[in-house]
């Protein structure tokens, strides 16, 4: 994966894990843009998920990382955008597959259900796995809703 600038977004339940994600990115020399939130005060995940999705669609950032408590809410929000393929991962093997088969451009992690060590392994897989193409490309092309 060619990394431009990693976009990051979370809600309050993902804030602690987001702090670790930023540490990981800095240690690996990956530039990033933080779309918030910036504390553990209660907020609404769609506000930050939409901002990240718009950054992905505009090309401002690539790839992205979204985090909320279960990972589901921010994932649903991100995937409402036609240019986003967000995949929820709680183990490295899934991160590998969302890149290899789905060409995911946003990694979503459940902040309340994984520890920093697991998150690090998930990010390692996400950032180093390439899209396989072939039959998977045909499937990717069928994802956007044609209006």
Q: How far apart are CA 15 and CA 106, in angstroms?
A: 17
Which of 81, 96, 101, 136 is an active site residue?
101
Q: How far apart are CA 37 and CA 47, in angstroms?
A: 9
Which of 10, 12, 68, 89 is an active site residue?
68
CB neighbours of residue 143 within 10 Å: 12
Our answer to whether residue 68 is catalytic in this structure is yes
Strands lying side by side in the sheet with 106-110: 32-34, 6-10, 64-68, 106-110, 86-88
- Active-site positions read 68, 101
């Amino acid at each position: 994966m060619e990394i431009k600038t990693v976009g990051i977004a979370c809600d309050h339940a993902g804030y602690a894990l987001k702090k670790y994600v930023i540490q990981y990115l800095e240690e690996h020399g990956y530039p990033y843009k933080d779309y918030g939130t910036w504390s553990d005060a209660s907020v609404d995940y769609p506000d930050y998920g939409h901002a990240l999705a718009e950054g992905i669609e505009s090309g401002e950032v690539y790839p992205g990382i979204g985090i909320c408590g279960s990972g589901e809410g921010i994932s649903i929000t991100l995937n409402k955008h036609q240019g986003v393929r967000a995949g929820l991962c709680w183990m490295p093997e899934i991160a590998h597959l969302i890149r290899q088969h789905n060409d995911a451009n946003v990694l979503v992690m459940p902040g309340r259900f994984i520890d920093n060590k697991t998150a690090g392994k998930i990010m390692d897989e996400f950032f180093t796995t390439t899209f396989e193409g072939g039959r998977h490309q045909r499937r990717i092309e069928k994802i956007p809703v044609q209006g």
